[in-house]
Structure formats: structure tokens, C-alpha cells
Chain A
Amino acid sequence: MDEEKLIQTLHTYERKVLPVLSKVSILSEVAKESELQEIEAMRGLQWLENKGIVKISEEVKEIADLDVNGKEYLEKGLPERRFLNVVRKDTPLSKVVKDANLAKDEINICLGVLRGKAAISIKKGKELIVSALPQAQKLLEGESLEEIFLRRSFPVSIGDLKEEEKFAFDNLRKRKNILKIETKKIKKAVLTELGKKIISKGIKMEDTYDRLSPKMLKDGSWNDKRFRRYDVKINVPKISGGKKQHYRRFLDDVRTKFLALGFKEMEGPLVETEFWNMDALFMPQFHSARDIHDAYCVKEPKYGEVDKKILEKVKASHEIGKGTISKGWQYKFDVNKSRQLILRTHDTAMSARTLASSDLQVPGKYFQTVRCFRPDVIDASHNVEFYQTGGFVIEEGLTFRHLKGLLRMFAEEFAETDQIKITPAYFPFTEPSAELHAKHPELGWIELAGSGIFRPELVQPLVGREVPVIAWGVGLDRVAMFKMGIKDIRELFSHNLEFLRGSTII
């Protein structure tokens, strides 16, 4: 910014302090000279510093100021002068004390000081007798260094004292309550080269506006004045507004994507029966994934309701593969276990519900993004609550080739890559099962999704016939953490307000 423009940005405070800087530099003096409050002068100086016009420095100084006695002596004179004023020849000390109206400790000092300066002599008798010596008159006529010092202006920086002042200061500071010494931070401002140039151009107290007011608009007065130029590059204090939570926003984006791709959203209960969570997915009741440690069980009520018809069909499919050419799992299915209530452990529970629903559309594409629960010890990489997205595509004639097509579409849409690898995998409810890996520019191959074709033993009892159903599922927590640069999984559900206010939208 050129100097002319710079001058136009100057606020009243700045305009007031700037001219006095060629005379004084200490903040208190600057304030006095510019007729501002100290705080106003300081703000003016800070703004000037931001613009490179002044340089503010801070010095730690020992400052001396008059204490109670100091103030009193300034008015009444030092005790030794008052002492000398009343002492003649052979004056008893009690008379001096009375006439000069001095305290006991002041007397002691007077005796010491005056004897040191050979102004009095002391005789000891029944009581002390004091006589003025010739030097006394001389002292009374002149003015001591201490007295001169007391009359100077206070507070004063000890470092700035002249030699005689220093001598008087050293004497006085030893005496009681005359001076008080404090360390103070002194702010000082000096003009920079730019500042000097600006001063040389002359700073006028221009008639500029700081703010545009409704009144000015109404009466047209805005027309004949200039608005003070702002420093638009200035840093401003931060504010916080309303914002969607970072992880929830990510989940919204995932849902929006699926909707755009023609998928219908599914929802289901948090508290689910083992039937829909596992049995309906053809997971045998003795399967290791069904151990008590893998799902949260509900204390009460222990059991939920499952439609008898569908329960019988699923039971027969488990036991003997009824309805398909499967031999089934060949065990005794426990209907009571089916009714047990748990917190849903995976999103696929809702796929089972949708497949069994009378609203199912074939061909159809379905998805869900839901919160699931599994017992675990919580730390930076494990949580007991997590989000999964998953779903299925149901249509006559679908094969593994379509599954690959779907996975490739996901990789393109969600990971923005067409470099994919599909590997064999195991899920209890799909045959074949496959895992989708995508090549990430930095991380290499990363696992994106589990998928497969639902087993006929699963589809037949739910849908009532065998139709190919391609299914997939993705854990979203890790993807979100990666996208948002979050290292601790707990931050997905952060209760740190500063973190939430500071979070970025990606």
C-alpha cells in the first residue's frame, strides 16, 4: 500500500499518537501527550505496529515512587530539617521532639544523619542534650541532595537517575516508607523508517467516518466525508456458527450417493432378535461368530416376537436345507434362541427383513447405513458402536459377473479408482464370497468391501423362491477416519466442542 493510502487507513487513535512519537516514546507519556486513555493509545500503537509504522518494545524497569513518608516529607520537609529548625544550644532532646513533632524512629535517624554531617553535638546527662554546631546554619540555608531528589517528578525509572540523584536515592531508600520500588513493564514505541516518512507527509486530524450509520444514509451526510480506509488483510477474531457434525455429514454423503445410484434405503430396529440378525441369514446357531461375546444381549425383555411362518421356514432350511437342494446344517434349530433380543451386530439384519417383506421389489436395489454394536474394549482403534453400509441387488439372472460390475462401480464412485482386485473371502451368508480391494495412491491395496451372492438356503425361505441376490457390506468408520484425517476412532463421536467447532467440511 502506498503511503498516501496508508495514511487514509489511520484511525483517530493512530492519528493522535503518531505526531507525539517524535517527542516521547513511553506509553504513559504518549497517552498524556496525545490526550488519550492509556488503553486507547495502546490500541493506536498496536494498529500502527501492524502496519509497520511503529515498533513497540517492552522493557522491564525498576520504578521508584514516593511512599507514605516520602509524600509527607515533601510537604513538611525532611525530619532532619525540622530537627535543626528547633535545636539551639544545649536543647534537651525532649524539647526538640516536642517542638519538631517527630516520631521516635525519625529522631534516631536525625541524630545519626546530623551527627554524620557535623551539624550537632550530643551530651549525655540525665537526658540527651543537643547543641547546634556552625555547620547547622549552613545546612538550613542550603538544600540537601535528598530534598532536591524528593521534589523531582515521580514515578521515576531508577536506571535513568543522574549521579547525584542516585546518591540521594540510595540514602533515602534505606529509610522507612520514603520510597517504594516496583518493577514495571514499560511499553515503548518508536517510529520505523516508514513511520518517519509518514510523519514527514503530515498527519491531519481528518474528518473521516469510521462507520456508516443509518442516520448518515438518511440525511445524506455520507456524501461529503471520506470513510477511513481499512486494512483488509487484518486478522480477525474467530467466530463459531452452526455446523453439521463431521461424521454425520460423511454418512449423509454416503446415503446421498446410494440414492443417486438408484438404491432404496432400508431401516430397522436397534434392538433385534437373533432371528433377523443371524438365523435368517443362514448363520447356524452353533457358529463361532454367535458366541455370547460377539453381541450385546438385552437384560429385559429377553425375548422378542418373530413371525411363526417365517421362523418355521428358516428353521427347516437350517436343519435340512428344505426348499433347496442343500443338505442344510444338519442340527436341531432352537426356536427360543431365535427370539433372543440383542443389539444388531451388522447391517445385514435389515437386508433379511427387507427380503422377507411383502414390499420387496424384484428387480430391486437396496441399501442402509446404520449403527451397529459389538462388545469390545474401547481404545483409539476399537469402538463398540460403529457404522456399516450395506445392501443388496435382487434380480433374475444375476451372476458373479454382475457382482464384479457392482463392486467396480462402488470403487469408482466411492474410492475414485478403477484399480481393483477381488479376492476370495468367507461370510457365512454368501456363496461365493468376495472381498473388494482398491489401490490407493499412498496406502497401496486397501480392503473396501465384503460381498457375495446370498446362499439359496437364505433367499428361499425369506423370498419364497430362489432369486439371485448380490449383497455387500462396508465398515464406514475407517473410511471416514481416513477421509477426515482422524487418527482416533473415538473422535467420530467427539464430545470436544473446540474440535467440533474447528472441524473442516470435506
Chain B
Amino acid sequence: MPTINFSLKDLQNLVGKKLTVEEVSELAEYGKGEFEGYNKEEDEVSIEFGDTNLPYLWSVEGVARLFKGILGLQKGIPKIEINKGGYKVIVDSSVSKIRPYISAFVAKGHKVDDYLIKQMVQLQEKLCESFGRRRLKVAIGVYSYDKIKFPVYYKATNPESIKFVPLEFKKEMTQQEILEEHPKGKEYAWTLEGFKKYPILVDSDDEVLSFPPIINSNFTGKVTEGEEHLFIEATGNDLEANLLAMNIMAQAFYERGFDIYSVDIDYENKKVTTPFLFKDKIKVTNDQIKSLLGLELKNAEVKRLLEKAQYDVTSNVQIPPYRKDILHPYDVVEDIGIMYGYNNIKVQELTSYTIGETYPMVRFRDKVRDLLVGLGFQEVFSPILTNKNVLYDRMNIKDFGTIELENYMSKTYSCLRTWILPILMKFLSKNKHVEYPQKMFEQGLVTVRKGDDVIDYERVAVVSANDKADYTEIRQVLDFILRSLDVDYTVEETDHDSFIPGRVGRVVVRGKKVAYIGEIDPKVLVNHELGVPVVGLELNLSDLFEVAKKERT
């Protein structure tokens, strides 16, 4: 979620009203923003905006616009004037499969200073990163207008054919070199993966403006303090997002004091003039307001609230051109609710009676936990993510079906646990310095892969570590649990490499194998650097529950 920083003084100038930090914090809530702080020395306010579908708020101009609406300083859709510019961007069909869309405008007549450049970059970057899906959907460039000779050409070329000096670099590079060497090239190369040609933006003198969506040229693409005229463009693979990004930028520049001039985009088979102000509208009824918010509002009140939220109201609700987040009338109704004030909406209690209940399995596993606590075992609760070394290598056995993660951050947590006993062994190995006897258990989910099936089981694992730990001790625990649960069982001889041969049993209930039980093999103890004998069991509660249920019916 983007965090926006700006000067409080600047905000006040744009709003046209003095605001305290507390007022800013409260007003930000209307835009689903969370006030993060105010740096008095730098006069800098930080607000985190939660709604990724409202990118217009990611600039101080957008925030000021919202505040003006709430404060009643401005009603309905805010004004924007677009002068006919007659500038041309000619789009070559070579980009149609790579990065088909471009929109642009020219902003003139306002001197830029350092702060303003920072604000421009902030809006540009947030739009590209979050809303623009890391530049794939939308990437924006801002240029020094005076250095450009129109028309501008947008085309795709061979990566080795053109050389130019990228922003903040000294030497000329080909597009291929930029992708391989320039930090931005490396960061965004993925957006061009698989293409043989790369997009480029050049002017009529063949001067490179930029290599979208990677980097501007150092000549035209560098805006410095004192300049007054700018050229702004957005490219991408989503036309609507592209147009919206330009509308948001144009509205912000307009409110900042620039004159906005349109640019004609010539595609091979169509012409579009941008900024293209959407004139979206939607019908919202009083019934919808009542059924969603529980508010019965008069038409005039609805109109007042909608205008506060900066919609125009005719027979329909007109949506401002910098918003594309309205899919359903409820999206507008929410804004009505916000402007009415969530805290002014009266509480209504839930009145229907329902019965609280849980799964029988939940009660079953809790009974087992209670029994083990009664036997003096300490409960352990561990991460479910672990690694194959813990599950298999250290336990002296082979992988029996593991769900591994594709994009783990650390190898330590790279798969789901398939059994719990290893987790308790790891626990013991971490607590060698603590007083013995150590008795613990963990109840929880394990996940096992069987071919293309992924199965969760509720399991419980129990260990006891002490000088005299032996099979009898752990068998008594098993016996106590199963007798208490009224389950008949038998134990069969079995082989399991985590246990001492001849001292490991398979517990069977109604033909179903539900548990391993025995003395842990010294090899496993050595793997865990343990100096005392350990006995343990692992019981499949999901299976036990199923067969135990049958037994009773």
C-alpha cells in the first residue's frame, strides 16, 4: 500500500485553508488513508493510502482535491481545462504485440522546483509500481518539452540498432546494454522478456526520448529546476489503465497551475486524443443506499453527499475522469456512507439466533491434548513450515511425500511438515541444557502429498527424554490415551529407521494403522546431539477419529 509524503504547507496552499496535523489525520481517513506521521523540521506529512484502486490519491494534488470536497470548498467533479495542442505521437505497428498503448499531454507555464520534481517523481513511481504492476501495465515518462521536436515516434526496434545516453549515465548504450548493465534495466528487464524488438520513443530529429518502460534519455528525459514546459507520456499493455494514469497526472498538473495541452495519438488504424476524459456514469437508487447502509436519505441529502465525494449528479451519477474504480452502484454508495460519516450511522444489533458449534474432530483433538497435559506433558506449538533435513535426514528416513515451496525465502522454512515427531526431536536438541526429564507433545496439522493429492491430517506426537526412558513408558502413554478414548487397539511389530529395530511398534485400530511407537534410534539421537534416551509416538488423529467413530456406531 503506497505511502505518500508531502509538505503540509503545500497541502494548505492547494486546499486554500490552514489545516492542523490532527485535521489532516482525520481527513485522510475519508480517503482510506492512515496518517503515518509529521516531520516538523522537514514540514513533511506521511499518509499510507489503503485503496489500490484509487491511485489519484497518490499525489499531494489528489489529496488536496479530496480534502476540498470533504471541507465543502469544492463541489462535484473538479474542473480541468484541456487546450487543443495539436502535438502528434505516431505509433508504429511494430509495438502492437510488445507494448501497444501510449497516451500523452503537454503541460506548460509553471516553473518547476526541486520539491515539485520530487512530487512528480513520487506520483509517477507509485502509479508505475503498484497500479502499473511494476511498469508492465503502465510506465510513465516526463520530459523537457523544449528539447523535443514533434511529432514523436513510438516504435519497436532491434535492441542493438540505437544508442543513447540513459538518464544519470555518461556513456551511450544500446538497449541491450541497458537491460544488462543499467540498474533500472536489470530491475525491469522482465517486462520485455521474450521479445526480439524493444520499444523506443524518438522525436523528429531522431533524438531518443526514452526506452519504455525502462529508462529516459539523459538529454530529453531529464527535467531540471527552472523549466516551465513538460511533455508527459505513458505506455503500457492496458489502454484503460494507460488513459487513467494520464488523466490523473493531467488533473494534478492542472491543479498545480500548468496549462494542459492535448496530444493526438496516431495508431495505424485509429486516432485518439489524450488526455481522454472518461465520462462514466452509473445509476444509484435510494433503495440501494437503504439496503447497503441502512440509511433512508432524501434526494437532496444524497446529492449533497455525492457532490462532497466529487461526483456530479444529474439523473445519473457522473464519475470523475481520474477514477475507474466504480464497478457497481455499491461503490458509489460506499462513498455516500463515508461522506455521511461511518460514526454517524446508527448501530443495529444482530437479532437472529444461531447455535454455535464446531467440528467433532475439533473436540476429539482437544480431548487428546487434555489427556496428555494430565500425564504431565508440556504442549509445544511450532511453525508448520520446516525443511527436509529436519523431516528426513536427521530422522534417518526417506521422503514419503512432501509439499515443497517454489518461492521460499529461507531454506529453513521450505516445505510443509509431513510428520511432527521430527519437530519435537528438534525441540529436544535445542533444550539440552534444561532440566530432565523432558516430556512434551504437539498436536496439529501435517500435510502429505500422495501423487497429485494433497492431504491434511490432524496428528499428535509425544516424546519423553530421560535417563530411564524406555518402550514401556511410551506404551503406557499410548495405552492411557486409547483406553480413555474407549478404543481397542493392537500393536504389531514393524520396521522404521527412526526407531531402534525390535523396539518399534505399529498401532492398529480396526485394521487401520494409526500410529508408530517406540524407542528413538541412537543414530537419530546422535544426529540431534542428544545425550539421553528418547521414546516417542506419532498418532494419526484423523484416521483414529474415523475408525473410532465406526466402532461406536
Closest 3 CB pairs of A and B: A399-B294, A426-B51, A401-B294
Asked if B405 is at the interface of the complex by the 8 Å CB criterion, the answer is yes
Residues in B lying within 8 Å of A, measured CB to CB: 29-32, 50-54, 130-131, 133, 137, 240, 290-294, 327-331, 333-334, 337-338, 342-343, 345-350, 352-359, 362, 366, 369, 372-385, 403-410, 413, 416, 426-427, 430-431, 434-435, 438-440, 445, 447, 449, 451-452, 454, 456
Identify which of B356, B362, B409, B449 contacts A376 (C-beta below 8 A).
B409
Interface string of A351-378 (1 = CB under 8 A from B): 0000000000101110000010101111
Give A64 to B275 CA distance when docked, in angstroms.
Answer: 104
Q: Are B382 and A495 in contact (CB under 8 A)?
A: yes
Contact of B359 among A252, A267, A364, A421 (CB under 8 A): A267
Q: Which residues of A contact B409 (CB under 8 A)?
A: 375-378, 384
Q: How far is the CB of B387 from chain A (nearest CB, A)?
A: 13
Contact A400 B337 (CB under 8 A): yes
Determine if A321 is an interface residue (Cβ-Cβ < 8 Å): yes
Known: A384-B413, A432-B330, A495-B431. 13 other contacts (CB 8 A): A240-B378, A241-B376, A267-B362, A296-B407, A299-B406, A324-B328, A364-B354, A373-B385, A375-B409, A393-B350, A395-B350, A426-B50, A468-B291
Contact (Cβ within 8 A) B405 A297 = yes
- Min CB distance A7 to B, Å, is 36
Q: How far is the CB of A113 from chain B (nearest CB, A)?
A: 58
Report yes or no: B354 in contact with A493, Cβ–Cβ below 8 A: no
Which residues of A are found within 8 Å of B357, using beta-carbon distances? 259, 264-265
Closest A residue to B382 by CB, please name it: A493
Question: Separation in Å of the A41 CB from the closest CB of chain B?
Answer: 28
Expressed in whole angstroms, the minimum distance between the Cβ of A465 and any Cβ of chain B is 14
Q: Please name all residues of chain A whose beta carbon is closer than 8 Å to the beta carbon of B346 when the two chains form the complex.
A: 401, 404
Known: A375-B409, A385-B383. A424 touches B342 (CB 8 A): yes
Contacting residues, chain B, for A378 (C-beta < 8 A):
409-410, 413
- Per the bound structure, the CA–CA distance linking A375 and B372 in Å amounts to 33
Q: Could you pull out 14 A-B pairs where Cβ atoms are within 8 angstroms?
A: A243-B373, A244-B373, A270-B384, A286-B137, A288-B52, A299-B405, A321-B328, A365-B354, A373-B385, A384-B409, A405-B349, A468-B291, A495-B431, A501-B378
Task: Give residues in A with beta carbon < 8 Å to B.
Answer: 240-245, 247-248, 252, 255, 258-265, 267, 269-271, 286-289, 292-293, 296-301, 304, 321, 324-330, 341, 343, 361, 363-365, 371, 373, 375-378, 383-385, 393, 395, 398-402, 404-406, 408-409, 421-426, 431-434, 453, 455-457, 468, 492-493, 495-498, 500-501
- In the bound complex, residues from chain A placing their C-beta under 8 Å from that of B369 are 244
Residues in B with CB closer than 8 Å to A364 are 354
From known contacts A265-B362, A364-B354, A399-B291, infer whether A298 and B342 are also in contact, taking CB-CB under 8 Å: no
B32 and A426 within 8 A (CB): yes
With A402-B350, A405-B349 as contacts: A455 and B328 at CB distance below 8 Å? yes
* Cα A273 to Cα B390 with chains together (Å): 27
Contacts A262-B355, A265-B358, A405-B349 given; does A432 touch B334 at CB 8 Å: yes
Q: Which chain B positions have C-beta within 8 A of A298?
A: 403-406, 454
Q: What B residues does A324 contact at CB under 8 A?
A: 328
Alpha-carbon gap, A364 to B378, bound state (A): 37
* A280→B152 CA distance, assembly (Å): 44
| Shortest CB distance B456–A (Å) | 6
Q: A363-B352, A401-B345, A402-B294 are in contact. Are A242 and B362 (CB under 8 A)?
A: no
- Number of residue pairs across A and B with beta carbons under 8 Å? 246
Residues of A within 8 A of B410 (CB): 378
B342 touches A270 (CB 8 A): no
Task: Report Cα–Cα, A373/B333, bound state, in Å.
Answer: 34
Q: Which of A267, A293, A328, A383 lies at the interface centre, i.e. has the most chain B CB atoms within 10 A of its CB?
A: A267
Contact among A258, A304, A424, A496 with B29 in the assembled complex (CB-CB below 8 Å): A424
B452 neighbours in A (Cβ, 8 Å) = 301
Please determine whether B330 and A431 come into contact, CB atoms closer than 8 angstroms: yes
| A270 close to B328 (CB less than 8 A) | no
Measured CB to CB, the nearest residue on chain A to B455 is A269
* Inter-chain contacts of A383 with B (CB < 8 A): 383
Q: Are B52 and A287 in contact (CB under 8 A)?
A: yes
Of the residues A321, A385, A402, contact of B327 by C-beta under 8 Å: A321
List the B residue with the shortest CB-CB distance to A292.
Answer: B407
Are A500 and B342 interface neighbours, CB within 8 A? no
- For A328, A425, A492, which residue has the most chain B Cβ atoms within 10 angstroms? A425
Check A432–B337 contact: CB distance below 8 A. Answer: yes
Contact B408 A296, beta carbon cutoff 8 Å: yes
Residue of B137, B240, B381 most packed against chain A (CB within 10 A): B381
Contacts A326-B328, A405-B350; is A385 near B385 (CB within 8 Å)?
Answer: yes
B379 x A245 contact (CB < 8 A): yes
Task: Give the chain B neighbours of A498 by CB distance below 8 A.
Answer: 431, 434
Nearest-neighbour CB distance to chain A for B124, whole angstroms, equals 17
Taken together as a complex, chains A and B put the C-alpha atoms of A426 and B408 apart, in Å, by 28
Residues of chain B lying within 8 A (CB to CB) of residue A385: 383-385
Specify which chain A residues have a CB less than 8 angstroms from the CB of B290 in the assembled complex. Answer: 399
Chain A residue, CB-CB nearest to B283 = A325
A residues within 8 A CB of B435? 240
Nearest neighbor of A265 in chain B, beta-carbon distance = B358
> Which of A269, A292, A398 is within 8 Å of B454, CB to CB?
A269
Chain A residue contacts of B426, Cβ below 8 A:
495
Nearest CB in chain A to that of B342: its residue: A422
Residues of B within 8 A of A376 (CB): 409
Q: Look across to chain B and name the residue whose beta carbon is closest to the beta carbon of A447.
A: B34
Q: Are A431 and B328 in contact (CB under 8 A)?
A: yes
Instruction: Specify which chain A residues have a CB less than 8 angstroms from the CB of B403 in the assembled complex.
Output: 271, 298-299
A448, chain B: closest CB distance, angstroms: 14
Least Cβ–Cβ distance between B454 and chain A, in angstroms: 5
For the complex, give the distance between the alpha carbons of A371 and B410 in Å. 19
B379 and A248 contacting across the interface, CB-CB below 8 Å: yes
- Asked if A343 and B405 make an inter-chain contact with CB atoms under 8 angstroms apart, the answer reads yes
Which residues of chain A are near B451, meaning CB under 8 Å?
A: 301
With beta carbons under 8 angstroms apart, the residue of B292, B342, B376, B430 that contacts A495 is B430
Q: Which residue of A lies closest to B129 (CB)?
A: A288
Question: What residues of A have a CB within 8 angstroms of the CB of B445 in the complex?
Answer: 270, 371
| Distance (whole angstroms) from the CB of B73 to the closest CB of chain A | 20
Contact status A270-B456, CB under 8 Å:
yes
Report chain B residues within 8 Å CB of A399: 290-294, 348
Contact B292 A453 (CB under 8 A): yes
Q: How long is the Cα–Cα vector from A259 to B358 in the complex, in angstroms?
A: 7
- Which A residues are CB-close (under 8 A) to B408? 296, 375
A432 with B338: CB separation less than 8 A: yes
Q: In chain B, what residue has the closest Cβ to A492?
A: B381
Query: Which chain B residues lie closer than 8 Å to A384 at the CB level?
Result: 383, 385, 409, 413
Beta-carbon contact of A297 and B407 below 8 Å: yes
CB distance from B495 to the nearest CB of A (A): 28
- Cβ contacts under 8 Å, B380 to chain A: 245, 495, 500
- Decide if B353 touches A262 in the complex (CB within 8 Å): yes
A373 to B409, CA, bound (A): 12
Evaluate whether A245 and B334 lie within 8 angstroms (CB atoms) in the complex, with A262-B353, A343-B405, A498-B434 already known. Answer: no
- CB pair A422–B343 under 8 Å, yes or no, is yes
Picked from B348, B385, B431, the residue with its CB within 8 Å of the CB of A405 is: B348
Whether A269 touches B50, Cβ cut-off 8 Å, given contacts A298-B403, A404-B348, is no
The docked-state distance in angstroms from the alpha carbon of A242 to that of B443 is: 14
C-alpha spacing A329/B378, complex, angstroms: 51
Q: How far is the CB of A158 from chain B (nearest CB, A)?
A: 41
Q: How many Å lie between the Cα of A248 and that of B359 in the bound state?
A: 17
Whether A425 and B454, one on each chain, are in contact in the complex, defined by CB atoms closer than 8 angstroms, is no
